[in-house]
Structure 1
């Protein structure tokens, strides 16, 4: 073979992209999408006043974003085959930035909901596309580090969102929670265009699959997916406010979700060129890893919801103060996640995940002892332990779940993996918010049953409260009525403390239930990958 023949392919070959530049480039969009899933929540009172919406109506700003996000996630691979992964990522980022700019100038609730949905359609493809790009860019022995970098964006984003949002709302106009995305996103868009290259084998495989897809476009599957997921997400987001199955609308949403998703599964298993490859769930490693990840995100999102709520509602913290109190968990996750990424491949994935499960459960047990006297420092120890636990979970879970997936199917797998994480987070928020409300009612009834006027302790407390009000200028009758209301307020607060304690403890106990799934997390060793020393369980 001549030297000319040998050099011919090399002359047209693309330069190998720098993996770290690729990582930084694709992380911008994912981080912004993750932050935007939570940053808006702290600004809802200001936004509600600006657009003249009720408390119930304003929740559609969040609901519309999440519904749009979950619809796009499983279709990421389908779009990537038709247009290319890099183009899909860039188009999604442009859509996200356009939605951000429009949200910042919206003047009515319908406009804001529509533009938030536009943001969600853009954000939905960013996470799974980044995950697939990183898996295809890093060599097999560095897959753990690739997923560690991805995990930092996915986990840290929702954690810093409320703090960043609180700072912006306290110091600037609420529209800046959207406008801040524009310069960061523009930089990310430029870096993706400049540094990210789609691997030739992926391009060739996508081109071949796209031809078959175009001949057999799965419009029915896409429609069933959109209807089923939109109904499911509406059910999860709005069920608590509508008292679940007491509402005909929620019952209808549940029925549409069940029927739509059942028909979607049937369609995808029988279609010639399915839009979503559900056959990936035949792999027990992928299935169990994805399910454990969904449970992990349900607990993570629940704790991110419960603790700030406890601090703000019962301890009197501002949104900014509660965000700063939870910041140590974010910092420890940022510090530990890269270390776990390096450990992956040297230590059993199941051992790392098992340690993570135990740490998160212990943190939940520790934080379940909160009281009205608990300070921010009193919560720090527990959330630091949980932060370490989440770091030990995310990297090996995400890496091992995709370990048996063929390289050409990574985009399909990451889309499904991201979807289950998002649905898990929504389920966690819905379930624990409902339990918190119901436990609060039960605890209040239990505490109030002991407050009878015949008890000397109750009489003494009422007399003490009434005397305090009389010193402020109340007459005897008004002071007595004010004392009764004050005592009722004390009962409500103590009941909510008991409800928080019970729910926080339950998060840890439920998390321990995923330990049996670790039996299935035994990945095959890929070419060039170090041998995993697996524990028999």
Structure 2
């Protein structure tokens, strides 16, 4: 294919007004694959832990390792888009995700499984900021909510259906089979990329392969800070106090050095990994706070809920997937509806309603007992997914609409980075709090030996997530539109 055939102007001329929707569809398929790779493994964690004889702390790195890789690689998306354009960046990430899925399914050692998860996480981190960039560049302001709703509805269908299919695959074929579920989506996304996605960089400008070099020093500092933070959280419970203190201090030092280095690059008129001028916009600053706390609660619960159903309530993997399916379908419908509301209603109102519903769903999990009706679990899960449906289309738009066009790709990757950093911390935090409460109740997570004390430990961990959502709600109320950007 000739390079000129991938130019934005030629593709627009060929497909007309519907072209922007075709681009959105193309990146939606890849984002579906990346999100499915993030969430579907949770259904298989108990079987994988048994196969490799893993403890709780090592098992959670299957999820948190993915999150760390995703978090760090998100910061590289603006540079990759400017240097290589939409098509090469997107297709390269999809190829890496494909290789990670195949490698994880064939791996015979837990280290190789973890490496495959890291590869998938790196790919997911590059892909996930791209849709918001496209929506804010290609769609008019009064259409952006609708586009976000349509995109979000499509994206959540994959993780909604994925755990149900994944649960059946785990029961029938073992945990390895769930790694291969992303393969068809990756292949389709690669075909769509070379058909519809332009070779240009954001804004329609030509990709600059001779542009600024990647801020490797900032990337190393960001990676060090993330790893120190997560390992420090784990050491707070499982390690020594001295080790935890050293790691957390290391995280603080790395963040301080990262911020100082980013400011230095800005003053030298060079391209920083994270443009800190974004935080001069009040809506973006408040949206970032919400994104971090919300990510902690969201990804922590995504890890915790399947483990609770299997090891707390002693349900099979296939039953867990089936119970989560109705909530996923409701989430898809809610996102489509709220996407249209986001064009007319203030973002802070929609985000606040969503966080309140999500907090309520976590609080209600305390009342789930060992013999509770399965319909109660379904109802609580649906309530939480309705809350997510209010947050997902609204948060990015509310935070990034005031940004200058030149800052949109930076804004998308930064808010995604903070959300995923919160998510990675949330997975670790849930594992730590759960282990702490299990010890306090004098029980463990031995399969087939659940009791009310174990269920109570899970309930107290859900209460921690509820408190985090309430904290995010305070920040969301500050996400009000201002008359003019600074």
Aligning the two structures, in what range does the TM-score lie when normalised by the shorter sequence?
Answer: 0.7 to 0.9
How many residue pairs get matched?
466
TM-score, with structure 2 as normaliser: 0.85
The residue that corresponds to 2:219 in the other structure is 222
CA contact (8 A) 2:40 2:162 kept: yes
- Structure 1 segments, 4+ long, off by >6 Å, are 10-13
* Residues 67 and 421, structure 2, Cα contact 8 Å, conserved in 1: no
CA shift, 1:502, in A, is: 3.2
8 Å Cα contact 1:39-1:164 kept in structure 2: no
> How far has the Cα of 1:344 moved from its partner?
1.3
CA–CA distance in structure 2, aligned partners of residues 46 and 306 of structure 1: 15
Tell me the CA shift for residue 379 of structure 1.
Answer: 2.1
Aligned to 2:182: 181
Q: What is the aligned partner in structure 2 of residue 404 from structure 1? A: 402
Q: Per-residue CA shift, 1:11-52, capped at 9, x if unaligned?
A: 9985456232222211111111111113223334555676x5
Q: What is the aligned counterpart of 2:433 among 422, 432, 435?
A: 435
Equivalent position SS for 2:367: coil
Counterpart position of 1:496: 454
Measure the CA separation in 2 of the matches of 1:381 and 1:429.
24
Give the Å deviation of 1:135.
2.5
Residue 358 of structure 1 is matched in structure 2 by 356
| Stretch deviating more after TM superposition (351-360 or 37-46) | 37-46
Is residue 213 from structure 1 mapped to residue 212 from structure 2 by the alignment?
yes
> Contact 1:225–1:264 at 8 Å: present in 2 too?
yes
- Higher-RCO chain (CA-CA 8 Å, sequence separation at least 6): 2
For 1:266 and 1:132, locate their aligned partners in 2 and report how far apart those are by CA, in whole Å. 27
Structure 2 match to 1:66: 67
Which of 474, 479, 483 is the equivalent residue of 1:521? 479
Distance in 2 of aligned mates of 1:221 and 1:163: 40
Q: Secondary structure at the match of 2:75?
A: helix
Shift of 1:196: 1.9
1:507-518 correspondence to structure 2 within 5 Å: 507-518=465-476
Whole-Å separation in 2 of the counterparts to 1:277 and 1:246:
35
**Cα distance change, pair 205–224 in 1 and its aligned pair in 2 (3 A):** farther
Corresponding position of 1:243: 238
Partner of 1:303: 301
Q: Could you tell me how far 1:82 is from its partner in structure 2?
A: 1.4
State whether structure 2 residue 253 is matched by structure 1 residue 259: yes
Partner of 2:228: 231
CA distance in 1, matches of 2:136, 2:178: 31
What is the Cα deviation at residue 211 of structure 1? Answer: 5.3
Within the candidate set 328, 331, 344, 2:329 is matched to: 331
Structure 1 residue runs of 5 or longer lacking an equivalent are 1-9, 446-488, 527-537
* C-alpha distance after superposition, 1:261-293 (max 9, x if no partner): 221111011113212212212211011112212
* Alpha-carbon distance in structure 2 between the residues aligned to 1:442 and 1:113: 30
What is the RMSD of the two structures over their aligned residues, measured on CA atoms?
A: 3.1
Larger Rg: 1
Greater mean alpha carbon deviation, residues 435-444 or residues 18-27: 435-444
Counterpart CA distance in 1 for 2:308 and 2:80 is 42
| Separation of aligned partners in 2, 1:12 and 1:163 | 38
Instruction: Give the gaps of 5 or more residues in structure 2.
Output: 1-8
Structure 1 Cα separation of the partners of residues 301 and 22 of structure 2: 33
1:414 aligned residue:
412
Sort the Cα spacing of 1:364 and 1:66 in 2 relative to 1 into closer, same or farther, 3 A. Answer: closer
CA apart distance, 1:59: 4.9
Is structure 2 residue 168 aligned with structure 1 residue 170?
no
Equivalence map 1:61-460=2 (5 Å): 61-152=62-153, 158=159, 160-197=161-198, 202-204=203-205, 207=208, 213-214=212-213, 218-236=215-233, 238-239=234-235, 243-246=238-241, 248=243, 250-271=244-265, 272=268, 273=270, 274-443=272-441
